[in-house]
Every structure is written in C-alpha cells, then in structure tokens.
Amino acid sequence: MDLSPEVLQSVLGKFIILILSIAVHEFGHAFIADRLGDRLPREQGRVTLNPIAHADPLGTVALPLISLVLSGGASIGFGWGKPVMTQTAAYTRKFTMRVGHMFVAFAGPAMNFVFGTLIAIVTCILFKSGVFTAESFYVPNTLPAMMLAAVWTNYVLMFFNLIPAKPLDGGAVLEGLLPQSAMPLYREYERYSFFVAAAFMMIHTLQMAFVWPATQLLIGILHTLGLPVPYRI
C-alpha cells in the first residue's frame, strides 16, 4: 500500500471533493422540498450547505476513504450522503405528490451540475487572470488539476444519479414523467430497480453510461471556457 506524501495529498483532495459534492447534492433535495412546503428537512437541519449535516459515516466517510487509500488516490469508488427525509403529503397542491417528488429528486443532480459548472467558471477566471498556468493543469494534485477533478466528479454524480432506477434519483424522475396509465408497469419494474442500479455500479461496461457523458460534458465545458484539457481526466 502506497502511503507516500503524493498519494496522501491525492486522497485528501479527492475526499474533500466528494464531501462537498455530496453536501450540495443533498442540499438540493432539502431546499426544493422546503420550497414545496415540506418543513421536515428544515426541522432536521438539512436546508444547509454544511457538509456535516449531510455526511453518512459509512457512505460519505468510511467507504470512499478505504477506496481512495487502496487505489492510491486514484478512485473514489462510490459514496452517498445521509438521505433527506421528506413528506410528499406536505407538498403544495400546485403539483401532484408524484410530480413534486420528481422535482425534489431532480434537484440533487441539478445542484451537482451547478456546482461543477461554477467550479469550472472560477477555474477559468483564475486561469485567464494568470493565477494558474496551462502547465499546472497537467500536474497531478495541483490546485488546477484538483478543481477539474471536482468538476468531473460532480458531472459523474449528476449522470449516475439520473439513472432511472430507485433508490437513485432518476427512478423518482422517471416516475414523475410517466403518465398515470403507466404506473402499474412502473411498479413492477420498481421491484427490481435496485438490482438495475447495482448493476450500473458494479459492471464496468455499464459504468460508461454515466462516466462517458460526464467526461464529454467536462471536455465541452473546458473548450467553451478556453481551459486546457488534461490528457487523462
């Protein structure tokens, strides 16, 4: 096991990225639920960007740290935050409970897109102002490289969570988009959707369904902003 200073720096940097990315994701769920009239997330202290409020000891801390250490800082693996508890019956009657739940579910991935893109814009400003050099983007563990890693991580989280299989957010998004007549068929699918989500997590070929679009989105954002594209993302 390599515990050199370079590896530990990579482990710490990517661990911080994951914690912050999970925090904004869960905040998105809590914020929209609160805006729809459900006061439970606010009462439980979840309408906040404080990472501690959203951290799960196993999914946010233990498993990602173990994966990072064992991979020499190369892979975060998978992580998750403390689920935001909501009461769909408390949502505003401007929408059906199913549609309201869809909005709450979609808010998590949407926040990852916003957070990742905001980091990319800040990186662009620092690059254009001369704080970052072009060469620094190609050196592992530098601040510019870590910022691009944060952008990519948030895009991966966005696309992964939009896979239409519960307990992922995409399952609730799909449910909200389907017509009422399709609900019986969806309920049948829902019984097996956990195994669908697990397959996307564990099978490398299926992982490309969210890794590839996240990478293409990152490359597109970098080209748009005039930022260097690393050889390896």
pLDDT, tens digit, 9 for 90 and up, residues 203-232: 999 999 999 999 999 999 999 999 988 866
- Predicted pLDDT of residue 232: 65
User: What is the C-alpha to C-alpha distance for residues 193 and 200, in angstroms, rounded to an integer?
Assistant: 11
Residues 6+ apart with CB under 8 A from 132: 123, 126, 143, 144
Q: How large is the average pLDDT for residues 155-181?
A: 96
Locate the domains of the chain by residue range: 5-225
pLDDT value of position 7 = 84
| 56 CB-near residues (< 8 Å, 6+ apart) | 80, 81, 82
* Average of per-residue pLDDT values in the chain: 93
For residue 60, pLDDT beyond 70: yes
